[in-house]
Structures are given as structure tokens and as C-alpha cells.
């Protein structure tokens, strides 16, 4: 359960978990992109084959998480952050400025850490990063059959604005809801990394 749902944006945002572990969302260096790729591999193969099939999982990991792809996104201004519990990395987010809005391109948590309030904290912490850049609106897209993720986003204030079927090559299609959350500037915060505390 989230105790502090609105942790301050400080140079390092942390939250105590049982056992004195701390949760931190921190910006990464380019050299840490392999950690993002490794987490994505684990999370996608656990969560997505029942939703989109193994062939599309394989295709989309190559399309979105190969190191040259991540490096190009990093170079072009995408903000990557790692969610850490103690010293271990358990999730990540990535967003970029898109006009006058922030587009959350990636936001994932290892399945072993679901059900602890960490997903909601990660969403809110990422929205605070966007707010710290002076941006009031966040957008994202989520697979229409990923019901757990849709519920998580709705609980944090995102609403469905449209559906979209986007061809992505090799005969595959992204079948998504487009979601939006406004009012980020009212969240407070004073930086782009976040610490906070979680309890049981």
C-alpha cells in the first residue's frame, strides 16, 4: 500500500518497504540501458504472450528494446528511469516530450513485485517527472486486452480517450487504448528523480 502517494521530487526518491528496503526512481546513464533491456525481456515474456502471442513479443522486443534502439531514444531525449527496491532494479519508465505533453512510452514492473503498491507509485512518480519539466498532461497507449494495466492507469487518473490500431510491421498490429492524464502541475515536486516510502 502506498503511504506517501505524492513523494517529493528530490535528487533521489525513496520509500521504505518491510525489511528496511527502499524504493527509488532514478534517472539512468546511457551505460545502464542494458538493465532496461534485461528487465523488458523478463517482463514481456512473463506478461505478454497470452495477450499478443509469442511471435509478436519477440518482434516487439527487437523493435523497442534492442540496445541500438534504446540508445537512439536516449540520444533523442527520452527520459529513462529505473525503479529500485534497495540495490535491485525491479522496473522502469521512459517518457519524452511530445509537443506540449509528455508521452509515457514505457512503464513496467517485474511481476514478482505486483500487488505491493509499486505500480501505482511508479506511475505517479513518472508523472511527477513530467510535471517537473513544466508539462501538465501525460499521454500513453496500452493494449486493450491488458486489463490489469488499464485498471492501474485509471486508478491514477488516466482516462481512455480513443482506440487505435497501428500497424508496426511484419504483419503485426498494436491494438491499443489511448489514455490521458491532465493536471500534473498540481502534483507538486521539485526535481526529476523521486524517492518515497511504501508500507505494507
Point out the residues of the chain with pLDDT beneath 50: 1-16, 190-192, 196-200
Contact 84, 118 (CB under 8 A): no
Provide the pLDDT for residue 167. Answer: 98
Provide the pLDDT for residue 189. Answer: 56
Provide the pLDDT for residue 12. Answer: 36
List phi, psi (to 5°) of 53.
90, 150
Whole-structure pTM value:
0.85
Cell 522496473 sits at which residue?
91
Contact 47, 166 (CB under 8 A): no
Provide the pLDDT for residue 34. Answer: 98
Q: Work out the number of other CB atoms within 10 angstroms of the CB of residue 110.
A: 19
Provide the pLDDT for residue 74. Answer: 98
Quickly list H helices, 48-117: 49-52, 54-65, 67-75
Write the pLDDT tens digit of every residue in 15-58.
Answer: 445 555 689 999 999 999 999 999 999 999 999 999 999 999 99
Provide the pLDDT for residue 13. Answer: 44
Provide the pLDDT for residue 153. Answer: 98
Q: In whole angstroms, give the CA distance from residue 100 to residue 21.
A: 37
Amino acid at each position: 500500500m502506498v503511504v506517501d502517494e505524492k513523494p517529493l521530487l528530490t535528487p533521489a526518491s525513496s520509500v521504505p518497504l518491510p525489511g528496511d528496503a527502499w524504493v527509488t526512481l532514478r534517472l539512468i546513464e546511457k551505460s545502464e540501458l542494458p538493465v532496461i533491456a534485461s528487465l523488458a525481456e523478463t517482463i514481456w515474456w512473463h506478461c505478454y504472450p497470452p495477450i499478443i502471442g509469442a511471435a509478436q513479443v519477440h518482434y516487439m522486443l527487437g523493435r523497442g528494446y534492442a540496445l541500438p534502439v534504446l540508445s537512439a531514444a536516449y540520444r533523442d531525449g527520452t527520459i529513462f528511469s529505473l525503479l529500485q527496491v534497495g540495490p535491485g532494479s525491479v522496473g522502469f519508465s521512459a517518457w519524452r516530450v511530445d509537443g506540449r505533453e509528455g508521452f509515457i512510452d514505457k512503464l513496467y514492473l517485474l511481476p514478482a513485485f505486483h500487488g505491493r503498491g509499486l505500480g501505482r507509485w511508479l506511475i505517479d512518480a513518472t508523472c511527477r517527472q513530467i510535471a517537473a519539466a513544466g508539462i501538465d498532461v501525460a499521454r500513453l497507449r496500452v493494449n486493450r486486452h491488458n486489463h490489469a494495466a488499464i485498471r492501474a492507469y485509471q486508478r491514477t487518473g488516466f482516462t481512455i480517450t480513443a482506440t487505435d490500431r497501428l500497424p508496426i510491421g511484419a504483419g503485426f498490429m498494436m491494438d491499443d487504448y489511448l489514455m490521458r492524464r491532465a493536471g500534473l502541475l498540481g502534483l507538486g515536486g521539485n526535481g526529476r528523480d523521486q524517492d518515497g516510502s511504501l508500507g505494507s
